[in-house]
Chain A
Amino acid sequence: MTTGSRSQPGRGTVSRRGVLRAGGGLVAATALPTGLAACSGGGSGGTVRVVGVADEQQPITEMIAAYRRSHPGTAFSTSFAPTDQVQTVVRTQLAGGNAPDVHVLYPGSGSAMSMVELAKAGLLAHLDDQAWTRTIPKGFDAAYRWKGRTYLYSAGSSVIGAIYNKKVFADAGVKPPTTWSGLLDVCGTLKARGVVPIALGAQTPWVTQLISYALVPNAVYAKDPSFDDDMAAGRATFAGSGWADALGKYQDLQKRGYFNDHPDGTTYEQQTSMVATGKAAMAVQVSAVLAAFRQAAKSPDDLGMFPFPGGDDPANLWIPAGVVVGLGVSARARNAAKGRQFIEFLGRQENINAWATAVSAVPFTRDSTTRLDPALSDFLPIIDADRAVPFMDQRWPNAEVQPAHFAAVQDLLAGKTDVNGALEQMDTAYGKSS
């Protein structure tokens, strides 16, 4: 027990807490937890250092390969790690004055590696002179921009919805529901057939928030689109808001027995395997993990995705859609100029498309060449009708609200607190200075 347990931050953690962290959440594609690999970029001199989160490994690796075909003189060194480790690594490098040229950046505010947090500290170079920044829809400002300047590159948004096993649905003779009461009926039918209706892996912290996020757009933002501003101004609190309805429904699903037993002891990996193998019918998840679910299934076509209906008017359903984790350029790094050129390359439509495809996201700007993941087709009309709400944490003022939400949901599922107590925990965290 001596040397092995030296307490060292982040050493080797497999957790991927907060993958959805902050700013718009992002999340993680296939490579949720960890994932770090590296390709050596050759000599030190003009090498562009890129540090990314595991979820970005596939698109970044592909994009660098494509970039080097037209810029063979630019060498890259890349390193990827799961959320916790990459956050620790990049913050240590920033603190030590040895910033990577290009590094992982979370949209909006609300986390230690978020765009606002780093821009405030003067650590990011703005990208305003790049053409792609002018195509970012106004509604995404909070995710990409701080004080009117763009600091984040991100390919687009991922949505939260229900990933479901088509075969299990067909066997039970049910179709994806479009209303809350329809959802309860479907769950009832599935449960009667001995299938777990909704797999929930709440032992993995970031998974806890997905059902809240799926329900809050209808419970809160459909009625009060300015809720974030009201919170910021102190005119509203989580307790007593539509959040109470959302968490009430979350709890209701558990009380009716529509989750697997012991969700607090079940991990994301087990949740994935339950849906992929048909032990469970669906899981509320981010589209970015579709690839991981497909990998675990016998055939990728076994799985589909539908908007998780938080309301009872199918024509007026609201959904969460958050800007995915992206990249920023250091203000002071040695090869920052080359890093900016690479980002400009990523801003071309075909590259936005490619990145978005790799993480099952909806590109922030689309043209005729954009091919969406077919599983997302039910979400597109809602996004185009402006009924998609950014992930809630994107406007939270500090990095403590999101972990407080995770803990509150786990406590709720364990019966250690009630809806009001859970929301008070979140209000306390919200009140802390950033």
Chain B
Amino acid sequence: MKAPRTAGPRLGRRDPAVPPWMFVVPALVVYAAVVLYPSVAGVVYAFTDWSGIGSFSFVGLANFHTLLHDDRALASITNTLLLTVAVVVAQNGLGLLLALGVNAEIRSRNLLRVVFFAPAVVSPVMVAFLWKYVYNPDNGSGLNGVLGAVGLGGLRQDWLGNPSLTLWSVAAMVVWQYAGYSMVVFLAGLQGVPPELHEAARIDGAGTWQRFRYVTWPLLAPALTVNLMLSTIGGLKLFDQVYAATNGGPGTSSETLSTVLYKEAFVYGKFGYSTAVALVLALFVAAVSLLQLRYLRAREVAA
């Protein structure tokens, strides 16, 4: 890192390929006004006992101390992590398979791409509303009805009502919505794989799996990075789908950090504490993303 580059616009002239810093000013201004300034101003509440209305006093680190002993919040961290891992693995695994499928020379591929991506453009709340119908426990309608109709009646479940199943049902709904999103990213990566490489490998006698493992997979590294990053951040912050589908229930079996922090702020009237939880969530997501980015970028270079 050369120090002079940071010294400002005047010295920046030395490299004529670098555009003047004025280019970044509009983005920075609007981002600072809408995200940075309010967030920094909002962090203050994490150190208060504010209810969200009326007056408040500063309580130092008391909210963070409370968090350490808050069983509900701590239990929700486990759920958040389970949900994130399930979504990241399934969404990207399925996304990759779909991408390989629709990248092949099959007739319906253009139509299929649209079909698989379409759920990603629908609002998450509508998706949750729709899936509450799909998941209803009645044997004659929804998913259970279909299972019965195709002779798989034994697989019928109380999808959202069975506490040990709820979290996974929500995960499946999220995977359904965003597998197409992952597919599109992988597809973009696949299109960057030169066909000559495959041809060469084939001539060398490599089978389908070997060609995937040694030709395609390494070249998918950047796509994998983007997919893992976005799905991890999305999973850790997941709110709409969980809240609209289960509200954290039955009991507290599908409560996540985001639903807890929402309830603390607007249901229980503990805005200060909620802000502390939000801050911890932000630091947590930032740490995970940073580690992930470093590892994945290093892997890309190695590959």
Tell me the A residues contacting B by CB distance below 8 Å: 1-2, 4-15, 17-18, 84, 87-88, 91, 94-95, 111-112, 117-118, 120-123, 202-203, 205, 261-267, 270, 398-400, 403, 406-408, 410-411, 413-414, 416-417
Docked-complex contact A410 and B244, CB < 8 angstroms: no
* Cα–Cα, bound, A406→B248 (Å): 11
* Cα–Cα, bound, A106→B206 (Å): 71
Tell me the B residues contacting A by CB distance below 8 Å: 51-55, 87, 91, 120, 123-125, 128-129, 132, 135-138, 158-163, 174, 178, 181-182, 230-231, 233-235, 237-241, 243-244, 246-252, 258, 262-263, 265-269, 271
Docked-complex contact A91 and B53, CB < 8 angstroms: yes
In the complex, chain A residues whose CB is within 8 Å of the CB of B271: 95
- Measured between C-beta atoms, what is the minimum distance from B125 to chain A in Å? 3
* Cα–Cα, bound, A399→B266 (Å): 10
In the complex, chain A residues whose CB is within 8 Å of the CB of B53: 91, 94-95, 117-118, 121, 123
Of the candidates B159, B230, B263, the one having the most CB atoms from chain A within 10 angstroms of its own CB is B263
Docked-complex contact B161 and A91, CB < 8 angstroms: no
In the complex, chain B residues whose CB is within 8 Å of the CB of A13: 125, 240, 243-244
Docked-complex contact A202 and B125, CB < 8 angstroms: no
Ranked nearest first, the 9 interchain pairs of A and B with the lowest CB-CB distance are: A265-B161, A121-B54, A264-B161, A12-B125, A1-B234, A410-B250, A262-B137, A7-B239, A262-B158
In the complex, chain A residues whose CB is within 8 Å of the CB of B247: 15, 17, 205
- Measured between C-beta atoms, what is the minimum distance from B75 to chain A in Å? 12
Kindly identify which residue among A5, A7, A14, A88 contacts B244, using a CB–CB cutoff of 8 Å: A14
Docked-complex contact B52 and A91, CB < 8 angstroms: yes
CB-CB nearest in chain A for B181: A1
In the complex, chain B residues whose CB is within 8 Å of the CB of A265: 135-137, 158-162
- Measured between C-beta atoms, what is the minimum distance from B270 to chain A in Å? 9
Q: Given A10-B262, A203-B249, A411-B250, is A112 in contact with B269 using a C-beta cutoff of 8 Å?
A: yes
Question: Could you list 18 A-B pairs, sorted by A, with CB under 8 Å?
Answer: A1-B182, A4-B120, A5-B240, A7-B239, A8-B240, A13-B125, A14-B125, A91-B53, A112-B266, A203-B161, A262-B161, A262-B162, A265-B137, A265-B158, A265-B159, A265-B162, A411-B250, A414-B251
Kindly identify which residue among A7, A112, A123 contacts B267, using a CB–CB cutoff of 8 Å: A112
In the complex, chain A residues whose CB is within 8 Å of the CB of B51: 112, 117, 121
Docked-complex contact B249 and A205, CB < 8 angstroms: yes
Q: Given A1-B178, A123-B53, A414-B162, is A10 in contact with B266 using a C-beta cutoff of 8 Å?
A: yes
Kindly identify which residue among B52, B174, B235 contacts A112, using a CB–CB cutoff of 8 Å: B52
- Measured between C-beta atoms, what is the minimum distance from A280 to chain B in Å? 11
- Measured between C-beta atoms, what is the minimum distance from B214 to chain A in Å? 29
Docked-complex contact B263 and A261, CB < 8 angstroms: no
Q: Given A5-B234, A12-B125, is A399 in contact with B262 using a C-beta cutoff of 8 Å?
A: no
* Cα–Cα, bound, A10→B235 (Å): 17
* Cα–Cα, bound, A287→B133 (Å): 25
- Measured between C-beta atoms, what is the minimum distance from A2 to chain B in Å? 4
CB-CB nearest in chain A for B238: A5
- Measured between C-beta atoms, what is the minimum distance from A25 to chain B in Å? 15
Docked-complex contact A407 and B52, CB < 8 angstroms: no
Kindly identify which residue among B125, B182, B265 contacts A9, using a CB–CB cutoff of 8 Å: B265
* Cα–Cα, bound, A117→B125 (Å): 30
Kindly identify which residue among A5, A112, A121 contacts B241, using a CB–CB cutoff of 8 Å: A5
* Cα–Cα, bound, A408→B250 (Å): 9
Kindly identify which residue among A91, A202, A267 contacts B132, using a CB–CB cutoff of 8 Å: A267
* Cα–Cα, bound, A112→B132 (Å): 27
- Measured between C-beta atoms, what is the minimum distance from A283 to chain B in Å? 15
Kindly identify which residue among A15, A17, A400, A408 contacts B268, using a CB–CB cutoff of 8 Å: A400
CB-CB nearest in chain A for B248: A407
Docked-complex contact B161 and A263, CB < 8 angstroms: yes
Docked-complex contact A5 and B237, CB < 8 angstroms: yes
CB-CB nearest in chain A for B251: A411
Of the candidates B161, B235, B249, B252, the one having the most CB atoms from chain A within 10 angstroms of its own CB is B249
In the complex, chain B residues whose CB is within 8 Å of the CB of A203: 132, 160-161, 246, 249-250
**Other A-B pairs beyond A14-B125, A203-B246, 10, CB < 8 Å:** A1-B233, A4-B123, A14-B129, A18-B267, A91-B266, A112-B51, A265-B135, A265-B136, A407-B249, A414-B250
CB-CB nearest in chain B for A117: B269
In the complex, chain A residues whose CB is within 8 Å of the CB of B54: 120-123
- Measured between C-beta atoms, what is the minimum distance from A362 to chain B in Å? 28
In the complex, chain A residues whose CB is within 8 Å of the CB of B129: 14
Kindly identify which residue among A7, A12, A122 contacts B238, using a CB–CB cutoff of 8 Å: A7
Docked-complex contact A11 and B125, CB < 8 angstroms: yes
In the complex, chain B residues whose CB is within 8 Å of the CB of A121: 51, 53-55
Q: Given A15-B244, A265-B137, is A413 in contact with B267 using a C-beta cutoff of 8 Å?
A: no
